[in-house]
Structure 1
Amino acid sequence: MFVTKRRSSGLAVLLLVAACCLPAFVMPPSQSTPPARDQMLLAGSAGLVASLPAPAHAGGMFDFGLTLPFVAGSFLLLMAVLNALFYAPVGEEIEERNAKLLQTLSEATDMLAEADEMQVQYTAEIKEAREKAAKELADAREKTEAAIEAQMSAKAAEREKKAADFRAKVQDSMNKQIKEAEGKIEERKTTFVKNTLAGVGL
């Protein structure tokens, strides 16, 4: 691209120098000739022009002479110089800027699409983590409740066993006391009967 700019700049400078060398841009010769000679040249030129046949359209409304081709050539030369020095570099800069903008826009679009994908992925992962945590919490609650229930059942069974043992001991103790009391009652009964019969004199 730098070589293209250098070539176009060189071409533009060359065209500008050529335009400056046209007869309209060349300075008139210095007044070193004497005025009499100038008058003679002027008179000769006027005679020469008068002796030339006039073209059919001379003196008409659109008698431009060499002005129109000179203006057209100057315009084309100016357009070539402007195209080489201004329009081409500016056009290249605009194209580069548009390419950069399109690239930036494409990268931004890709980043937005990637961000959307990441958001969907993170949302799915968060949902999965919440479901997993809820499941683990429910499992832990069930295990804790089962452990508590097992402990309560074990304690209840232990209490029932202790109560049954205590009842059995109490029952055994009562049975022993009843047997002992029955023996004592029989003895007292026999003693009472003997004493009563002895008191009666039988």
Structure 2
Amino acid sequence: MTWLLLAEAGVPEGGLFDLDATLPLMAVQVVLLTFLLNALFFRPVGKVVEDREGFISTSRADAKQKLAQVERLEADLAEQLKGARQAVQSVIVDAENEVDGLYREALAQAEAEANRTKEESRRGIEAERESARAQLKGKVDQLSTTIINRLLAA
């Protein structure tokens, strides 16, 4: 209360700086205003800012983990794709080898069948030739006998 009385007291005139109760009263007002602003505005705003920074750092950490997980999955999928390509290439090579084997087998069978048919045909022709020779020989013998008989009879 004495401060208030001093603040209301008349101001002496003179001097470059007059020091009276106004200075401590202003200091008290500044300190009270600082505590009041801190309690009403700065702490809640600071808390919101800290919460937001925490959320951002947590979100960044989660994003880094998810990115690492995606990179691992991508590497795994690339490895699986590589394995699948190798398996497909192996299947293609096996199929080509099998087709080539079947082709060679079919070709060998066809050649064997052609050779067998050719041999049978040769045997058939040879048999017919021998049969024709035997018939001709028989007819030649018969004609020669007939010619000899006619020549002897005449």
Q: Write the letter of the residue equivalent to 1:172.
A: A
Match of 1:92 among 44, 47, 50: 47
Distance in 2 between the 1:128 and 1:161 partners?
A: 49
Equivalences for 1:97-176 in 2 at 5 Å?
Answer: 97-176=52-131
Runs of 4+ in 1 over 2 A off after TM superposition: 21-24, 196-199
Residue equivalent to 1:189: 144
Match of 1:78 among 30, 33, 49: 33
Would you tell me which structure has more helix in proportion to its own residues?
Answer: 2
Q: Write the letter of the residue equivalent to 1:192.
A: I
* Pairwise CA distance, 1:22: 10
Q: Unpaired segments of 5 or more residues in structure 2?
A: none
Q: Write the letter of the residue equivalent to 1:98.
A: E
Q: TM-score, normalised by structure 2?
A: 0.85
CA-based RMSD of the aligned residues comes to 2.5
Query: After the TM superposition, which of the residue ranges 113-122 and 63-72 deviates more from structure 2?
Result: 113-122
Q: Does the alignment pair 1:179 with 2:130?
A: no
Q: Unpaired segments of 5 or more residues in structure 1?
A: 1-20, 25-44, 47-53
Distance in 1 between the 2:3 and 2:40 partners?
A: 24
Q: TM-score, normalised by structure 1?
A: 0.66
Structure-2 change in CA distance of 1:22 and 1:85 (3 Å): farther
- Aligned residue pairs total 149
* Pairwise CA distance, 1:166: 2.0
Distance in 1 between the 2:151 and 2:79 partners?
A: 103
Match of 2:20 among 65, 76, 79: 65
